[in-house]
Amino acid sequence: MLRVLVVDDSATARELLTQVLESDPELVVVATARGGKEALRLTRELRPDVITMDMYMPDLDGFQTTKEIMIAAPTPTVIVSASNQLQAVETGMQALRAGALALLLKPPAPGSPGFERAARELIETVKTMAEVKVVRHFRRQPAVATIPPNSDHRGPLRFRAVAIAASTGGPPALCRLFAGLPEAFPAPVLVVQHMAHGFVEGFAKWLDATVPIRVKIAEHGETLLPGVVYVAPEQRHLGVRPRGCAALSVGPPIGGFRPAATHLFQSAAESFGKQVVALILTGMGRDGVDGLRHVRDAGGVTVAQDEASSVVFGMPGAAISEDLADAVLPIDRMAAYLANLVTYGSA
C-alpha cells in the first residue's frame, strides 16, 4: 500500500481526493491537512510515500510548502490545482522548481464531464511519482552563455535546429537550460514536454516570462526562427519540414505519447540530417530514445542529461544504455555546450 497525505484547505476537496485515491486498492490516505504548516508537521511525523498538494492555502501556499518539505523531509509531491489559468500555472511551476514532480488539475465532482479521466490521471500520477526518489538539490544558477559581439555569423551554420525531449522534472530543467541561452541563440529550438491536460499553454507563457530567449506554442506551418523556442501543443505531434517550417499532426500516439519526442527527433533528422542537435532530458520511460537513433544515423549530435541532475533518469538513462548519446551532461552545463556547438560547430 502506498501511503498518501492529502493537503487542501477545502473540506470538500479533501473528501473528493480521498475518495478518488482510495478507489484504487494500492493507495491509502493516511492523513489530510488543511494548510501548509499542518502538512509540514504531518510529513515529518508520518513520512508518507507521496503528497498531493493544493496550490492556494491560507498560511503557506503550495510553492512555499513544497519548498519547506524538500528541505525538512523530501517527499514526492504532486501539485493538484483547481485552475489552469496563468497565475495558477506560474505558482505551480514555481512549486515544480522547488521540487514537486507533477502538476495536475483537480478532478471535478463525480458525474461531471471529465471526472473519470481526471480521476484516472490523478491515481496513475500519484502511484508513479511515489516511486521517484526525491533528494535535496542545491545547485548554482547557470551562467549565461555568451556569443562574442564581433563573431561572424554570415556563413551557413553547421546546425539548423535543436530538438529537446523532457518529461517528469522537465519544466525546471528546461528553465535552467533556457536561462543560460543568449537571446541571440542562432537556431530554433523545438520542445516536446509531457504535461498533464490543460497546462501546456500556461507552461509556455510562464517560461517565456522567465527566461531571456523567446518561448511560444508551435503553430502549424510557421517558419522556425533562430532564438525562438517552439513548444509542442497539447495532443499534437511536433515535427519540421525540410524548408524549416513547423509541422503539427494528430497522428496516432507513439509509445503512448502525443506529442512524442520520437516523432520530433525523427522528423528533425529527416529534414535537417546532420544539422540537428537532439537533447533527451529527465523523464520516466523511453520516449525519444528510438528517435535519437534516427538523429545518430543522420549524423546529428545527441546529448543526454546526466543522472545526478535528473529528477528521473528513465529517458536519458535508456538513451545512454543503448549508446545513443554523444555527450552526457548535467543540466547546468548544457546551455554553454549548446551555444558553442550551434554557433561554432564544436563544444
As to burial, measured by CB atoms within 10 angstroms (0-12 exposed, 13-18 middle, 19+ buried), residue 68 is middle
pLDDT of residue 86: 83
Q: Do domains 2-129 and 161-344 have the same CATH topology?
A: yes
**What is the pTM assigned to this prediction?**
0.89
pLDDT tens figures, 103-133: 999 999 998 999 999 999 999 999 999 989 8
152 residue type, one letter: D
Q: Is the pLDDT of residue 147 over 50?
A: no
Nearest to 54 by CA among 80, 87, 21, 86: 80
Give the H/E segment covering residue 254: none
> What fold is seen in the domain 2-129?
Rossmann fold (3.40.50)
DSSP code at position 9? S
Q: Is the pLDDT of residue 139 over 60?
A: no
State how beta strands 27-33 and 2-7 pair.
parallel
Annotate 132-167 with b (16+ C-beta within 10 A) or e (fewer). Answer: bebeeeeeeebeebebeeeeeeeeeebbbbbbbbbb
Cell of 227: 532564438
The rounded distance, in Å, linking the Cα atoms of 307 and 190 is 23
Choices 3.40.50.180, 3.30.465.10, 3.40.50.10490, 3.30.1490.120: CATH for 161-344: 3.40.50.180
Indicate the range of 57-71, 111-125, 129-143 predicted with least confidence. Answer: 129-143
The residues spanned by each domain of the chain are 2-129, 161-344
Average pLDDT over residues 318-324: 96
pLDDT of residue 85: 85
Orientation angle between helical segments 289-298 and 314-321, nearest 10 degrees: 40
pLDDT tens figures, 216-264: 999 999 999 999 999 999 999 999 998 899 999 999 999 999 999 999 9
Nearest to 108 by CA among 12, 189, 249: 12
Give the H/E segment covering residue 68: helix 62-72
Active site residues per annotation: 167, 194, 287
Q: Is the pLDDT of residue 166 over 90?
A: yes
Q: Is the pLDDT of residue 157 over 60?
A: no
Q: Is the pLDDT of residue 301 over 90?
A: yes
